[in-house]
Amino acid sequence: MSDEKEKELEQSAEPKSEEAAPAEAAPAEATPAAAEATPKPAAESAPSAPAAPAVDPEREAKLKAAAEARAARAAAKAAAEAGGEAPAAAAPAGAGGEVDPEKAAKIAAAAEARAARAAAKAAAEGGEAAPAEPKPPSPKQPQLDEAAALIRASVAEDAIEEAYINELNDHMPTLVIRADRLVEACRLLKTRTGQDYTYLRNVSGVDYETHLEVVYHLVSLNSKNELAVKVKTNREQPGIPSVVPVWETANWNEREIYDLLGIDFPGHPDLRRIMMPDDWVGHPLRKDYVPLDPEV
């Protein structure tokens, strides 16, 4: 019985060993298959390269200039240590006859940068730029034209020195009126139907160094329109007729301008200082004012 069992065991072990052999050979068979596999194209396997950044011509010119400056300084230093003469730099000599390589390189870099910017601008524009379209007229232009025409017709043709729209101040209609025509023009702007500038909101003085100026800010409470009236005067003997007879609220405004800028207002009922003491010397808001104590 033991011999029969041994034979059965041997017979059952032989197929297992035969079956195991192909399993062991499987990796060997897989190796050629992997070798025969078709490689993927490089475009599919490798990620696409990022696009090259745009070249900044000004930055490139500055880097080039810095490199040239460093090379020039190194050459000059080497020549000085060797006791010889520095090689001539491709730059003009200064007033003292010495060449500043760094300065020359910076000048060259600036010129190259300007040329690069000009070339880039010309390329972007693709030729000559089209002429700019004319600005549309201001919505307050009719208001200005009406007031100017009224003063020229009713006061004097030369009463207005300039009429324009101040776009920076919400398209404020502005009239520059001659000083000798101011009171008559203001009375007309206040009383004429359609103008009705009954409210004098503010009066201010300005020192432009070449001349002094007073600005009257008018408001029509009926139409809500606004108008600025300016009057110029010289610095030596500044004087502008008072508009207190037209708008009483101008009283203290004119006194303040007289006090701080020294502009006289003939016709004012009580022209005297309002902020500074009566014995104060000078007018503090004038550009040529010199304080008694600069540290105060």
* Sheet containing 160-166, strands listed edge to edge, beginning at the edge strand earlier in sequence: 160-166, 172-177, 226-233, 212-219, 199-207
Q: What is the pLDDT of residues 232-267, one digit of tens each?
A: 999 999 999 999 999 999 999 999 999 999 999 999
Instruction: Please tell me the distance from the alpha carbon of residue 213 to that of residue 261, in angstroms, as a whole number.
Output: 10
* Residues of the chain scoring pLDDT < 50: 1, 13, 15-47, 84-96
Q: Which residue type occupies 248?
A: E
Q: What does the pLDDT read at residue 122?
A: 75
Contact between 116 and 61 (Cβ < 8 Å): yes
- Taken in order 42, 46, 48, 49, the sign of the CA dihedral is negative
pLDDT at 106: 74
Domain ranges within the chain, ordered by starting residue: 141-261
Domain spanning 141-261: CATH 3.30.460.80: yes
Measured distance CA(291)–CA(61) in Å, rounded: 51
Count CA atoms within 13 Å of residue 189 on its CB side. 34
| Helices 57-82/101-125 angle, 10° precision | 160
Helices (H) and strands (E) in the chain, counts: 7, 5
Helix (H, G, I), strand (E, B) or coil at 200: strand
pLDDT at 295: 67
What pLDDT shows up at residue 86?
A: 43
The pLDDT value given to residue 92:
45
Q: Which residues contact 52 (CB under 8 A, 6 or more apart)?
A: none
d(CA 175, CA 209): 21
